[in-house]
Amino acid sequence: MPNAQAHIDYERLLAGLIRRLERHGDSPVLLHTHASSIILAGDHAYKLKRPVQLPFLDFSTVASRRHFLSLELQLNRRTAEALYLDVLPITGSPDDPEIDGAGEAIDWALRMRRFDPEGGFDVLARQGRLTRRHMEQLAAHVADFHLRLPPIPAAEVPDKNAWHWANESLDEIAASANTPTLETNAGVEALRSVLEKAFGGLERLRERRIAQGWVREAHGDLHLGNIVEWEGRVIAFDALEFDPALRRIDVINDVSFTFMDLCASACEPLAWRLMNDYIERTGDYEGLCLLYVYAASKALVRAKLSLLGGCHHAAFFKYWNLAWSFARPSGRARLILTMGMSGSGKSTLAGMLAERLGGIRIRSDVERKRLAGLAALDRPEDPAALYNIQANERTYARLAELAGVLLQANFPVILDAAFLRHHERESMRFMAEGLGIPFAVVECRAPAPVMLERILRRAEARTDPSDATSRVLELQTTYMEPLPDAWRVFHHVIKTDVSLERLQEEMERCVVFD
């Protein structure tokens, strides 16, 4: 345990660093967290570890502080190399210290590139300035990071999993003197029972994902406050360094923190946009079955933290109620098919439906290429092989397989495909009937010149997975099969040659969102 003199010396050290930086004309600003101090000066930020020893971390010695700062640099350069520069010695004395000076180090500092806190996603969320474009960039950033990581061998996966952390949070909430008394203790045990059952039902999946390599050395603290828009890029920073068990986790557990935080920030449609873009990039649809329990665990951590140091009941109940909503989502599963020719606006509408319903869009264009070993934006060397009858059958079978997994996990599913032939639609209706869930077909229509213009524009941009051409559009008109009259009860028609605002209105008018 650090003695009182260590804390006094540390405060003297901070004051000395501030004085030296002031002499350089940097107008330093000092910030504190529970375990660190950050000095903002000029174009840089200098992070020091406080000489503290807590149940979950030990920064009590100069050597340990250097070690964890070096580890923090190493971990964060995986996602934020442009921001994390180096670890520098602090030399001199506590009253007259110098960063990167000559002589023996009396402490250490992590040097970072300074950024505008107004670009933090927590700030953008509070100000209502987060956008779909931010989610697209973040999904790509996190998905690409996760896919680069090597799997953790099963023998090295921490024994303590998300259920244990959730259970500990519930214990601490029940024991806290600041916990609201109104039915809270009963609520704790009720929520514990629900979560224990939910985690238990997913244990085989969790074990399978360990074997499949989805547990990796991830970020570990991926909330909105640790994500920033910097120079037009979205960057995750401040990965958790002090406990490897908290970052050696399932990748869905990692991104669930961002998902939960977006929901807590009244950005639920953007939360679903993030998950759709992320999962489309990774192909890890089965992992979504764990999203709710992991998000509940993250919400409980926030609920617990809201009680530390004061009775912040409003914050507590926000996260407590959110944990409950994740722990027992019910009555949400439904299957919606898009229908329409290339360029008719299916993917745009399907994405909007996923955001509105809190569901998952599965794109045939993406899954067709994944089955062929291609990335979403790759162009096939032999288009005929990718779009022949056998490839179509494999693609629609894959859509049905993925939809079945997600529907049984209670997610609304939107299958984004042309569904021009009746047998393709009929097989999906049979699946919905068998599961006893609502079913709908949303047909997208646009004038032929509009569809052609969209096809040509995206072919030129090369930013969309679709390989459709004007010839494909021409052929589709020859084999598109209309829905039978008996399907009118399932059938909704939306004209998409309108503004996004009007399209949203049409979607709300045509589709029931109960």
Find out whether 378 and 369 touch, Cβ atoms under 8 Å.
yes
Residue 235 predicted with pLDDT over 60? yes
Closest Cα partner for 221 from 289, 297, 162, 298?
A: 298
Residue 296 predicted with pLDDT over 70? yes
Provide the 3-class DSSP secondary structure of residue 32: strand
Q: What is the pLDDT of residue 512?
A: 63
Distance, CA of 412 to CA of 443 (rounded, Å): 18
HEC profile of 2-28? CCHHHHHHHHHHHHHHHHHHHHCCCCC
Closest Cα partner for 279 from 354, 228, 349, 222?
A: 354
Ranges 266-275, 325-334, 498-507, most confident: 266-275
Provide the 3-class DSSP secondary structure of residue 356: helix
Q: What is the pLDDT of residue 274?
A: 99
Q: Which residues contact 114 (CB under 8 A, 6 or more apart)?
A: 40, 41, 42, 43, 44, 45
Distance, CA of 117 to CA of 127 (rounded, Å): 13
Q: How confident is the model at residue 26 (pLDDT cuts 50, 70, 90)?
A: confident
Per-residue tokens: 44: 């840089």
Residue 185 predicted with pLDDT over 80? no
- Backbone angles phi and psi of 483, in degrees to 5: -75, 145
| Helix axis angle, 184-201 to 291-307, nearest 10° | 150
Q: Identify the burial level of 319 via C-beta atoms within 10 angstroms of its C-beta, where 0-12 means exposed, 13-18 middle and 19 or more buried.
A: buried
Distance, CA of 170 to CA of 179 (rounded, Å): 11
Q: What is the pLDDT of residue 331?
A: 64
Q: How confident is the model at residue 181 (pLDDT cuts 50, 70, 90)?
A: low
Q: How many other C-beta atoms can be found within 10 angstroms of the C-beta atom of residue 154? A: 11
∠ Cα 403 376 412 (to 5°): 20
- What's the mean pLDDT in 463-486? 92
pLDDT in tens, 41-91: 999 999 999 999 888 889 999 999 999 999 999 999 999 999 999 999 999
Per-residue tokens: 423: 């047998």
Q: What is the pLDDT of residue 177?
A: 77
Q: How confident is the model at residue 186 (pLDDT cuts 50, 70, 90)?
A: low
HEC profile of 187-249? HHHHHHHHHHHHHHHCHHHHHHHHHHCCEEECCCCCCHHHEEEECCEEEECCCCCCCHHHCEE
Per-residue tokens: 160: 């303590």
Structural domains in the chain, CATH included, are: 4-114 (no CATH), 121-327 (3.90.1200.10), 334-510 (3.40.50.300)
Find out whether 411 and 353 touch, Cβ atoms under 8 Å.
no
Tokens 């029931």, residue?
A: 512
pLDDT in tens, 433-461: 999 999 999 999 999 999 999 999 999 99
Residue 514 predicted with pLDDT over 60? no
Q: Is the model more confident about 58 or about 111?
A: 111
Single-letter residue type at 8: I
Closest Cα partner for 348 from 188, 500, 176, 147?
A: 500
Residue 2 predicted with pLDDT over 70? no
Per-residue tokens: 415: 């299958």
The separation between the first and the last C-alpha atoms of the chain, rounded to the nearest angstrom, is 57
Provide the 3-class DSSP secondary structure of residue 504: helix
Q: How confident is the model at residue 341 (pLDDT cuts 50, 70, 90)?
A: very high
Largest separation between any pair of C-alpha atoms in the chain: 86
Residue 101 predicted with pLDDT over 80? yes
- What's the mean pLDDT in 199-216? 97
Q: What is the pLDDT of residue 219?
A: 99
- What's the mean pLDDT in 281-285? 98
Q: What is the pLDDT of residue 60?
A: 92
Helix then strand count (H, E) for the chain reads 19, 17
- From residue 238, give the alpha-carbon distance in Å to each of 11, 43, 202, 410: 23, 18, 30, 33
Q: What is the pLDDT of residue 3?
A: 65
Q: What is the pLDDT of residue 420?
A: 96
Distance, CA of 110 to CA of 70 (rounded, Å): 8
Mean of per-residue pLDDT scores for the chain:
94
Distance, CA of 364 to CA of 196 (rounded, Å): 36
Closest Cα partner for 433 from 487, 392, 483?
A: 487
Closest Cα partner for 99 from 35, 33, 24, 3?
A: 24
pLDDT in tens, 210-226: 999 999 999 999 999 99
- What's the mean pLDDT in 177-182? 71
Q: What is the pLDDT of residue 24?
A: 84
- What's the mean pLDDT in 108-128? 97
Q: How confident is the model at residue 510 (pLDDT cuts 50, 70, 90)?
A: confident
Residue 513 predicted with pLDDT over 80? no
Q: How confident is the model at residue 329 (pLDDT cuts 50, 70, 90)?
A: confident
- What's the mean pLDDT in 303-315? 83
- From residue 268, give the alpha-carbon distance in Å to each of 228, 352, 356, 362: 19, 12, 9, 19
Q: What is the pLDDT of residue 210?
A: 97
Q: Identify the burial level of 82 via C-beta atoms within 10 angstroms of its C-beta, where 0-12 means exposed, 13-18 middle and 19 or more buried.
A: middle
- Residue 90, H or E segment: strand 84-93
Reported pTM? 0.94
Find out whether 132 and 270 touch, Cβ atoms under 8 Å.
yes
Lowest mean pLDDT among 135-144, 147-156, 313-322, 399-408: 313-322
Q: How confident is the model at residue 180 (pLDDT cuts 50, 70, 90)?
A: confident
